[in-house]
Amino acid sequence: MTFEPVLIGFTCNWCSYRAADLAGTSRTKYPPNIRLVRLMCSGRLDPTFVLKALAEGADGVLITGCHPGECHYLEQNYKALRRYHLLRRTLQSLGIEAERVKLVWASASEGLQLAEAIRQFTEEIRALGPLRWNARPELRSEDAPLEAVP
């Protein structure tokens, strides 16, 4: 069976969500693997959302926001930027490839670029393989002992 990555995209309402919309209406194809979740601004992105997505089965998380200097709430996308960098390091430190989370800037008019970014991310995650958190062999020894206890 081929592996189809499950991706979650957290998109800013003002830019990238519209870009995605645009991509949709202009029939620019982007892979169906991604499910977009709209935020009012990338600054709203709580690292919890990302962790939750990964914990509940996503293989990768894409975060999108307005280009630097274009955030409707001024500085908020820089906040997202800092969180993103920190989050990637923490994931790495927890044994999860940092590449599973990616930040992309896209303005409302950049539907094509966004579609391309999604396609690229999908391929990157496809190459990484499934996160399959529950089944990570280095976490669990094969003789699953928990079942041994009634």
Partner 1 sequence: MSKPKFSMYWGASCGGCDIAVLNIHEKILEVDETFEIVLWPVAVDAKYADVEALPDGDITLTLFNGGIRNEENEHMARLLRRKSQILVAFGSCASEGCVPALANLYPRERLFETVYAGPTTENPEGRRPLERAAVPEGELHLPKFYPTLRTLDEVVEVDYIIPGCPPESHQIAAVLDVVFAALRGEAELPPKGSVLGAGISTVCEECPRKRDVKKIRAFRRIQDGPADPEICLLEQGILCAGPATRDGCGALCPLAGAACIGCYGPSEGVVDYGARLMSAVASVIDSRDPEEIERILDGIPDPAGAFYRFNLAGSLLRRGR
Q: Which is nearer to ligand FES, 5 or 65 (CB)?
A: 65
The answer to whether 53 touches 2, Cβ cutoff 8 Å, is no
Cβ proximity to partner 1, 1 vs 146, nearer residue:
146
Q: Does 147 bind partner 1 (CB under 8 A)?
A: no
Query: Binding residue for partner 1 (CB under 8 A) from 79, 97, 126, 128?
Result: 79
- Of 76, 100, 118, 122, which one interacts with ligand FES (CB under 6 A)? 76
Indicate whether 38 belongs to the interface with ligand FES (CB under 6 A): no
Alpha-carbon radius of gyration of the chain: 17
Which does residue 135 bind out of partner 1, ligand FES, none, counting CB within 5 to 8 angstroms by kind?
A: none
Q: What is the 8-class DSSP label of residue 133?
A: G
3-state secondary structure 51-115: HHHHHCCCCEEEEEECCCCCCCCCCHHHHHHHHHHHHHHHHHHCCCCHHHEEEEECCCCCHHHHH
Where along the sequence are the contacts to ligand FES (CB under 6 A)? 12, 14-15, 41-43, 65-66, 71-73, 76-77
